[in-house]
Amino acid sequence: MIVVVLLCSCVNDEIPEQEARMVKHTISLTIPYDVQDPKPSNVRAELTNIQTKKTYEATHFKMSGEMLTDEISLPEGLYNVKVDGNLTYKMEIVDPTRKANKKNAVKTRTLKATLKATRENVRIKASDSVEDTRLALNVYSANEGFLITEIYFTGSTTPDGYMYTDDQYIKFGNNSDTVMYADGLAFIETFFTSDDLHDYQPNIMDKAMTIVTIYVIPGSGKDVPVKPGEEITIAITAEDHTLINPNSIDLSKADFEIYDSCTHPEGDHDVPGVPNLDNWYGGFEGCFVFHTRGVKSYGIARPMVDKKTYMTQFRYHFGYIFRQGDFVVPMNEYEYYMPNEWVLDAVNLSVPAAHEWLLTSPRLDKGYSYCGHVDFDETRYTHAVIRKRVGHKYVEESAIINNVPGTWMVDQNFGEKGKWIDTNNSTEDFVPNAQPSYFAKKLRNL
> Is residue 359 domain-shared with residue 231, that is, in the same domain?
yes
Asked if 314 and 301 touch (Cβ cutoff 8 Å), the reply is no
pTM of the full structure: 0.80
Residue 417 counted as domain residue:
no
Q: Please choose, from the candidates 20, 214, 150, the residue with its C-alpha nearest in 3D space to the C-alpha of residue 440.
A: 150
Whether residue 118 is found in the same domain as residue 178: no
CATH code, domain carrying 110: 2.60.40
| Domain stops at, among 136, 169, 192 | 136
Listed residues 107, 136, 165: the one ending a domain: 136
158/286 same-domain check: yes
Do residues 30 and 53 both lie within one domain? yes
Same domain flag for 89 and 150: no
Exposed e or buried b for every residue in 35-62, given b needs 16+ CB within 10 A? beebebeebebbbebeeeeeebebeebe
- For residue 3, being part of any structural domain is answered with no
Residues 240, 364 within the same domain: yes
DSSP 331-397: EEEEEEEEEGGGEEEEEEB--GGG----SS-TTT-S--B-SSSSTT-TT-TT-EEEE-BTT--EEEE
Does residue 442 lie within any of the structural domains? no
**26 lies in some domain:** yes
Answer yes or no: do 58 and 189 share one domain.
no
Residue 406 counted as domain residue? no
- Does residue 128 share a domain with residue 70? yes
Note whether 94 and 66 are same-domain residues. Answer: yes
β-strands 394-401, 327-339: how paired? Answer: unpaired
How far is the CA of 182 from the CAs of 31, 208, 241, 351, in angstroms? Answer: 28, 22, 26, 31
Boundaries of domain holding 90: 22-136
Per-residue pLDDT of the chain in tens (446 residues, 90 and over written 9): 333 333 333 444 455 555 678 999 999 998 876 677 888 999 999 999 999 999 999 999 998 887 899 999 999 999 999 999 988 888 777 665 555 455 556 777 788 878 888 888 999 987 756 678 888 877 655 445 899 999 999 999 999 999 999 999 999 999 988 899 999 999 999 999 999 999 999 999 999 999 999 999 999 999 999 999 999 999 999 999 999 999 999 999 999 999 987 666 566 788 999 999 999 998 766 689 999 999 999 999 999 899 999 999 999 999 999 988 889 999 999 999 999 989 999 999 999 999 999 999 998 999 999 999 999 999 999 999 999 999 999 999 998 777 777 899 999 999 999 999 999 999 999 999 999 999 999 998 86
The answer on 101 and 49 residing in a single domain is: yes
Do 261 and 205 belong to one domain?
yes
Residue 414 lies in a domain: no
Structural domain contains residue 171: yes
Number of domains in the chain: 2
Instruction: Give domain status of residue 5, yes or no.
Output: no
